[in-house]
Amino acid sequence: MLTKEDNEKLTRVGPGTPMGNVFRRYWLPALLSSEVAEPDGAPVRVRLLGEDLVAFRDSNGAVGLVDAYCPHRRAPMFLARNEKCGLRCVYHGWKFDVTGQCVDMPTEPRDSAYKSRMRIDAYPTWEGGGIVWAYMGPAAEQPAPPAWELIRAPATHRFVSRTLQDCNYLQALEGGLDSAHAQILHNINIGDLSWLDNFESTTPKLDVYPTDYGFRYTGIRILDNRYWVRAYHYIMPVTQVRARIVPVRGKTPRVPAICGHYWVPVDDTTTTVFNFLYSADPQIPITEDFAVESETDDGRSPDDIGPDLRNRQNSRNDYMIDREVQKTKTFTGIKGVNTQDVAVQEGMGRIVDRSKEHLGSTDRAIVTMRRALLEAIRTVEAGGHPRGTDPNSYAHVRAVDQYCNGESEIAALIEREMVARF
C-alpha cells in the first residue's frame, strides 16, 4: 500500500504538482494526427495535465497547441478562424502562429510594436506514429523526440485509436500492468467454477527486471504442459508494450502483433487512453479490416465507444451488467474486455485511496512501477533527468507472447524476440 502522502503525490498532475512536473519532462501523446488532418481546418479542444488547450494544423501542415483562451480578453480560441498560417481570434482578430507569436493585431495602430511583444501560451509538438506529441516542460530540459518502434513502422503496418476513462491515470495504468487479473476478470466460460481448483498452477510466476526506461516484466504460466511466456515492458511514465497473436476471422495464419497503451492524464480524474497496434512482421501489413476486427475483439468498436470516446456501457447504466450471464457464463456479466477493465478501474472511484490496499505476490509490477514514479519525482525535484526521457533507452524494445516447450527455451526466446524489427 501507499501512504496518503505518496498517493497524493502520484495522482495529482496539474501545473506545479510533483507528478505534474515529472510528466512535463516527457513527450506525451496529445491527440491523433487524424483529428487535425486538414490544414487550415477547424481547431480541436485538448485537455492535458489539467490545462485547457486548442490544437490546429496550419497552412503549411505544422500542428500548433496553444492556450484555449486568447491573451487579449480571454475569448475561446476554439471559435478561432484557422487561416494563412495562424489562428485568428474571432473576438478582436488577434492572430497567433504555431509557436504562439502574435502575427497580426488589427485593433492596434499599424506602427505599434505591441504585436511583437504579445504571445499566446504554446507548447512544442511533434508528429509520429499517427499521433501528435506535446512537450509541456522547461525548454532547457526538452528531450529528443520519441523513438518508439510504432513510429518507425510504416503507416500500412500500424493502427492507433483513442478512448477516455473517468478515473485517475494511475488506476488505469495499474490495470494495464496487472497481468494476473486476466483469468478472473476476463474469463468468458466459468462453467461450474471447477477451473478454480487448478488456479494456482495457472497463476503467472512474475519476475521484474529494472531497466533505464522503467522495467521489463515476465509472466510465465504452465498451460497444456507447455510454458506460456509473456514478457512486457513498462516504459515511463505511462506506457505498456506487449505482444499478442491476433486471429483474423476465417483466415490463417494468425497475425503476430505488438500492441499497448499510453495512459495520459487529462486531469486528476480523467484519462485519455491511446491504444496502438502494429504488425510484428514487416511482411504483413495491418489492413483496415484487420484493425476493425482487432478493435471489435477488444471492445472498442463504434458500437462500444460513443462520440465522446467513452464506453457506451458506463457507470450511468452499470456497464449493462447481466446478472444472469454472470451466474452462468462469465465472471463479470459485462460484455467486452475493454469494458470489463474500465468498469473495475472507474468503479474504484475517481482517485483510489491506496492507503487501504492489501497487495499480494502478483502485484510486484505495480509496486515496482509506483516506486519508479516516486523515484522520478525525487529526481526531478533534485534537478535531474528521470528514466525514460532518453528515447534511445526504449527505441529497440519488443514484447513476447509465445509458448515454449521447456524452461531452457525461455531465455533464448526472450533474447531472440525482444528486439525491434523496424
Cα separation, 135 vs 322, in Å, equals: 43
Q: Where are the alpha helices (DSSP H) in 89-136?
A: 114-117
pLDDT digits (tens, 9 = 90+) for 15-45: 999 999 999 999 999 999 999 999 999 999 9
8 A C-beta contact, residue 240 and residue 229: no
How would you class 239 by CB atoms within 10 Å of its CB: exposed for 0-12, middle for 13-18, buried for 19 or more? buried
Which of 244-253, 277-286, 298-307, 376-385 has the lowest average pLDDT?
244-253
Q: Cell 534537478, residue?
A: 383
**Higher per-residue confidence, 283 vs 50:** 50
- Cell numbers placing 262: 499510453
Class (C level, CATH) for 27-141: mainly beta
Separation of alpha carbons 44 and 55, rounded Å: 5
Cα(15)–Cα(108) distance, rounded to whole angstroms?
Answer: 33
DSSP E strands, 33-174? 44-48, 51-57, 63-67, 81-83, 86-88, 95-96, 102-104, 122-123, 125-128, 131-135, 158-165
Say if 27-141 and 149-417 have the same CATH topology.
no
Q: Where are the domains of the chain?
A: 27-141, 149-417
263 close to 273: Cβ distance less than 8 angstroms: yes
Write down the H helix ranges in 246-336.
288-297, 323-328
From start to end of 91-238, where are the E strands? 95-96, 102-104, 122-123, 125-128, 131-135, 158-165, 205-210, 214-223, 226-235
pLDDT above 80 for 249: no
Q: What is the pLDDT of residues 326-375, one digit of tens each?
A: 988 888 999 988 999 999 999 999 999 999 999 988 899 999 999 999 99
pLDDT at 195: 53
Question: Residue 27 has which C-alpha cell?
Answer: 513527450
- CATH number for the region 149-417 comes to 3.90.380.10
Grid coordinates representing 198? 487448478
Query: Across residues 300-323, what is the average pLDDT?
Result: 94
pLDDT exceeds cutoff 50 at 400: yes
More confident: 217 or 120: 120
Interatomic CA distance for residues 79 and 26, integer angstroms: 29
**Is pLDDT of 290 > 90?**
no
Confidence of residue 196 (pLDDT cuts 50, 70, 90): low
Query: What is the mean predicted confidence (pLDDT) over 85-90?
Result: 98
Q: What is the pLDDT, as a whole number, of residue 189?
A: 73
Q: Which residue has the cell 479542444?
A: 45
pLDDT at residue 357, rounded to an integer: 94
Residues 6+ apart with CB under 8 A from 335: 299, 313, 320, 322
Q: Share the mean pLDDT of the chain.
A: 91
User: How many percent of the chain have pLDDT more than 70?
Assistant: 94
Q: What is the pLDDT of residue 252?
A: 46
Phi-psi region at 376: left, alpha or beta (left = phi > 0; alpha = psi -120 to 50): alpha
pTM for the full predicted model? 0.93
| pLDDT (0 to 100) of residue 251 | 54
In the chain, pLDDT over 90 holds for what percent of residues? 72
Cβ-defined contacts of 136-140 (< 8 Å, 24+): 136/23, 136/24, 136/28, 136/48, 136/49, 136/51, 137/21, 137/24, 137/25, 137/26, 138/24
Rounded to 5°, angle at Cα 127 from 30 and 77 = 50
Upstream peptide bond of 145 is cis (omega within 30 degrees of 0): no
